[in-house]
Amino acid sequence: MRCAARARAFAAAGALGLAALGCEAGGPRARAESAALRRQAEALHNLLAAVDTDQAFSSRRVTLGIGEPLVRDLLQLALPVEADSAPDLHVRLETAEVAFENGESRVSLRGRVSRASAPATFADLTVHGGLHRFEVGAAEGHVTARVALDRLEVRQAEAEGLRRELVEAVIERLGQPTLESLAAQIPPLAIPLRFERTVELAGRSVGPFQIAPASLRLRVGVAQVVALSGRLWVQLEVAAAP
């Protein structure tokens, strides 16, 4: 009898130890943040090494520093975006926030998820992602980027008081396809800067001197993008086309 009690006591101690460890740890959100921080640290280490070897912020590249407010305002122009996620969930994203720090461009889109059949039942939602696929458009010469969404967060505090199963359903059912569908509705973000691919010089005669009309073709491409100090630093390769 005493042995059984001891065994129970040991088992209880083990369970308590487990509970203590569990309490100290941070859950899925902490895990995601930790993974993001690991990614950022690695990116920053790489950038520091790249700056020292003239691979980042290189003296051979033109730098564009694009501020957060401009990108936020442009992104806001593309909103709202909406998506229906079966069964019975409707997502509408309305406001945008961006942050360009620590080597990462972060995009947060806020909105609501509601029952399609009962729009009054809703929870506030934030979808997180970033900017990617930077390029200089071949036709227009604009610097463009796409928004990728990879994580959603139901803001529990504001969802409290609502039916618990809604929050659970949102977390369970709004998966990657919904995020991709929302991101696909956001058109490429075009920074209102245009690269002229051809520079032209008109001919001119001054006295006996003449200069013939000529043109110079340029090649422009995005070499690297670094998010730092509240700006996206876009490194461009610019060279005369052969």
Partner 1 sequence: MRSVKRGLLVAGLLFAGGFAYARFWWGPGPEALEKQRREVRELSARLERRLRERALLRDGADAAVLVGVPAEVADRLAADTVAGLFSGMRVELRDLRFRKSDEVQARLLLGKRSVGRFALSVHVREVSARLHPGRPRLRFGEDRIAVTLPVTVDGEGAARVRFKWDGRGIAGAVCGDLDVAHEMTASVPSRSYSLQGSLRLAVDGPALVATPEFEDVELTVPVEPTAATWRYVEELVASRGALCRAALGKADVESKLKGLLARGIKLTLPRQLVERPLRVPLAVERTVALAGRSLEVEAQPRDVIVTPARLWYGVALALRAPEPPS
Residues 182-201 that bind partner 1 (CB under 8 A): 186-187, 189-197, 199, 201
Distance in Å, CB of 161 to partner 1, minimum: 27
Residue 210 CB contacts under 8 Å (≥ 6 apart), including other chains: 203, 204
The site that binds partner 1 (CB under 8 A) totals a number of residues, namely 93
**84 touching partner 1, by CB under 8 A:** no
Question: Residue 69 to residues 147, 156, 200: CA-CA distances in angstroms?
Answer: 16, 28, 34
Distance in Å, CB of 159 to partner 1, minimum: 22
Distance in Å, CB of 121 to partner 1, minimum: 28
**242 touching partner 1, by CB under 8 A:** no
**99 touching partner 1, by CB under 8 A:** no
- Which residue, 82 or 88, has its beta carbon nearer to partner 1? 82
Distance in Å, CB of 129 to partner 1, minimum: 17
Distance CA 191, CA 143 (A): 6
**94 touching partner 1, by CB under 8 A:** no
Q: Structure tokens of 239? A: 């060279």
Cβ atoms 192, 169 nearer than 8 A: no
**118 touching partner 1, by CB under 8 A:** no
Distance in Å, CB of 52 to partner 1, minimum: 8
The one among 142, 151, 155, 173 contacting partner 1 by CB under 8 A = 142
Applying the rule CB under 8 A, the residues between 202 and 231 that interact with partner 1 are 203-204, 206-216, 218, 228-229, 231
**116 touching partner 1, by CB under 8 A:** no
**139 touching partner 1, by CB under 8 A:** no
Q: Which helix (H) or strand (E) holds 77?
A: helix 68-77
Cβ atoms 75, 159 nearer than 8 A: no
Cβ atoms 153, 128 nearer than 8 A: yes
**Total Cβ atoms within 10 A of residue 158:** 13
Q: Which helix (H) or strand (E) holds 211?
A: strand 209-211
The one among 34, 117, 156, 176 contacting partner 1 by CB under 8 A = 34
Phi and psi dihedrals of 135, rounded to 5?
Answer: -160, 165
Distance in Å, CB of 101 to partner 1, minimum: 7
- Which residue, 28 or 161, has its beta carbon nearer to partner 1? 28
Distance CA 77, CA 233 (A): 22
Reported residue count of the chain is 242
**15 touching partner 1, by CB under 8 A:** yes
Distance in Å, CB of 155 to partner 1, minimum: 20
Q: Structure tokens of 19? A: 């509970």
Mode of pairing for the β-strands spanning 142-154 and 89-101: unpaired
